[in-house]
Structure 1
Amino acid sequence: MNKPKIKVDIVSDVVCPWCYIGKRRLEKAIDKLATEYDFELEYHPFELNPQMPESGANQRAYLAAKFGSDERYEQITRQTTQTAATEGLAFAFDKQQVSPNTRKAHVLIQQARTVGKQLEVTEGFFKAYFIDGIDLSKNENLVAVAVQAGLSRALAEEALADENLVMQVSLAEQEMYKLGITGVPFYIINNRYGVSGAQASETFVEAFREIVQSQEADITSGGEACDVDGRNC
């Protein structure tokens, strides 16, 4: 007997800490339901700061200005790091010197989808930014992370040189804005139900079961998220 299939479209940015935390929580929920349902995941691009220069900006200075002070930066990154640790993620904000423009990372993530490596490349960029402190403003680092995650070097370099792919990412982001998405992570389940924020794994489990039973899941808000104009991440 075939298991019901659940499609999850995930809107995220690789510099959003709650997107990485939400990824782990979603994965735990999927693992718990693996014997009940089949899952199809697809990542969609979203830039928290599309105006970021290609060379990036000093991470601490940028986030401190966004949060309002150095004290708020310390408080927020400490709390986020503690929450990430409960999901098995060892965030190291002190290692990361650069807040990058993330459009090229999204180009590589979308290119990876064409060869079945999107989940691996997405994970690679999250880990590179939040755990390893890799400067994702540099093309050579973007390519190296993507290659380590399973994308061929030729495809990675070809994607970064293709202006049409960059434009496609920009257009895809505009579609997300048209849907009213202003913060990430955001999850669209079975093309119908919207879930905002890094919900607890148990909440995802309940939502998936309710959706399969054709009952609307009332969890469209409440999870932690990064907003374009927010001051929490």
Structure 2
Amino acid sequence: MKKTSIEIDIYSDPICPWCYIGLKRFQKAQAQRPHFDVKARWLTFQLNPDMPDEGMDRQAYLDKKFGGRANATQFYSQIAAAGLTDGINFKFEQIKKTPNTVEAHRLSLLAREQNKQDQVMERLFESYFLEGKNIGERDVLLTIATETDLTGAESYLDSDQGHEDVLFTDQNARSLGLTGVPCFIVNRQHILPGAQSPDTLAQMLDIGFQQQNEEK
């Protein structure tokens, strides 16, 4: 059977735990529709667009965002429970700094040029949420680039390439009314917000499949 190409734009941020859960559920949805040719494009959305370049101490960030450790613990315990159902054992306690994610998004752009964006995004999620690494640091990003066989990452990160693209995509998402991630857009028309269930995401792929066939 000839595969049908379906374009899925995914707005996300690699420090968003629901985006990591959304990735796992999206992978399960793809497994339910193995005869579909799904082309995912990861797009920038910053959870913290005003984050200092150097990031922020994790506890200070949680205190500012949630008004105290108790509220933060309750919030993340719910996410941890959801993650376990999708095979993610979040290690929130290992995270020492909440980073600025512009550089991580730039690395994702480089990966898209080399058709390795899915792999890089997954490693960004794993590095932050499972290994507690600061994905705002250049050395961490270069390690991810090496692990995913990206070429030219060092010179790319040393340049300004992709920086304006990252900021523009983030600002454009907000101008379109996007307030949270993940958000999936099918063939640049149908919007599905949130980390939906694999079954719901599979139905999203069905919509894309039907649309592509109607346009033939």
In which range does the TM-score fall when normalised by the shorter chain?
Answer: over 0.9
Alignment partner for residue 176 of structure 1, among 153, 173, 188? 173
Give, in angstroms, the shift of residue 181 of structure 1.
Answer: 1.3
Residue 116 (structure 1) shift: 1.2
C-alpha displacement of 1:164: 3.5
Which protein has greater RCO, CA pairs closer than 8 Å, 6+ apart? Answer: 2
Q: Is the 8 A contact 1:29 1:201 kept in 2?
A: yes
Q: Which residue of 1 aligns with 2:77?
A: 78
Secondary structure, aligned partner of 1:184: coil
Q: Counterpart of 2:16? A: 16
Separation of aligned partners in 2, 1:195 and 1:49: 22
Matching residue's letter, 2:34: A
- Quote the Cα distance in structure 2 between the aligned partners of 1:111 and 1:63: 31
Candidates 193, 205, 215, aligned match of 1:208 = 205
Structure 1 distance, partners of 2:196, 2:63, is 26
Rounded to whole Å, the distance in 2 between the matches of 1:20 and 1:208 is: 19
Match of 1:51, SS state, is coil
Deviations 1:173-210 (A, max 9, x none): 22222222121101110111001000000111123224
Deviation at 1:117, TM superposition (A): 1.1
Give the Cα separation in 2 of the matches to 1:24 and 1:60: 27
TM-score by length of structure 1 reads: 0.86
Is 1:195 matched with 2:187? no
Amino acid corresponding to residue 202 of structure 1 in structure 2? D
Return 5+ residue gaps in structure 2 as ranges: 212-216
TM-fit CA distance, 1:158: 1.6
**For residue 60 of structure 2, what is the aligned residue in structure 1?**
61
2:186 touches 2:204 (CA, 8 Å); kept in 1? Answer: no
Distance of 2:146 and 2:170 partners within structure 1: 24
Q: Per-residue CA shift, 1:109-134, capped at 9, x if unaligned? A: 00111111111111111000000001
Displacement, 1:211?
Answer: 4.3
Contact persistence 1:121–1:150 (CA under 8 A): no
Partner of residue 110, structure 1: 109
The equivalences for 1:1-233 within 5 A come to 1-35=1-35, 37-152=36-151, 155-214=152-211
SS at match of 1:104: helix
Query: Where in structure 1 are there 5+ consecutive unaligned residues?
Result: 215-233
Superposed CA RMSD: 1.4
What is the aligned-residue identity percentage? 35
Secondary structure, counterpart of 2:28 in structure 1: helix
Q: How many pairs were matched up?
A: 211
Greater helix fraction, Structure 1 or Structure 2: 2
Task: Give the SS at the match of 2:162.
Answer: helix
